[in-house]
Amino acid sequence: MTTYEELFENNRRWVASMMAKDKHFFERLSGQQSPEFLYIGCSDSRIPANEIMGLEPGEVFVHRNIANVVASVDLNAMSVVNYAVAQLHVKHIIVCGHYNCGGVKAAMQPKDMGILNPWLRNIRDVYRLHQAELDGIQDEHKRYDRLAELNVQEQCINVIKMAVVQKSYMKNRYPVVHGWVFDLETGHIKDLAIDFDAVLKNIQKIYDLTGEE
Ligand SMILES: [Zn+2]
Q: What is the pLDDT of residues 24-70, one digit of tens each?
A: 999 999 988 899 999 999 999 999 999 999 999 999 999 999 999 99
Q: What percent of the chain has pLDDT over 90?
A: 97
Distance from C-alpha of 183 to C-alpha of 180, rounded to nearest angstrom: 10
Note whether 52 and 188 are within 8 A (CB).
Answer: no
Whether 101 is catalytic is yes
Note the pLDDT of residue 30. 92
CA 204, chain centre distance (Å): 22
All CATH 3.40.1050.10 domain ranges in the chain, comma separated = 33-207
Distance from C-alpha of 93 to C-alpha of 160, rounded to nearest angstrom: 10
Instruction: Compute the average pLDDT of residues 86-90.
Output: 98
- Residue 50 Cα to ligand 1 middle (Å): 16
Q: Give me the count of residues in the chain.
A: 213
Whether 178 is catalytic is no
Split at pLDDT 50, 70, 90, the class of 213 is low
- Residue 162 Cα to ligand 1 middle (Å): 24
Catalogue the E-assigned strands of the chain: 37-42, 60-65, 92-98, 176-182, 189-191
Catalytic pick from 12, 13, 22, 42?
Answer: 42
- Residue 210 Cα to ligand 1 middle (Å): 33
* pTM reported for the whole predicted model: 0.95
Distance from C-alpha of 111 to C-alpha of 197, rounded to nearest angstrom: 38
Split at pLDDT 50, 70, 90, the class of 212 is confident
| Backbone φ and ψ of 210, nearest 5° | -85, -15
Distance from C-alpha of 27 to C-alpha of 61, rounded to nearest angstrom: 19
- Residue 27 Cα to ligand 1 middle (Å): 35
Who contacts 195 (Cβ-Cβ below 8 Å, separation ≥6)? none
Whether 98 is catalytic is yes
Catalytic pick from 13, 28, 46, 141?
Answer: 46
The CATH T-level fold of domain 33-207 is: Beta-carbonic Anhydrase; Chain A (3.40.1050)
Whether 46 is catalytic is yes
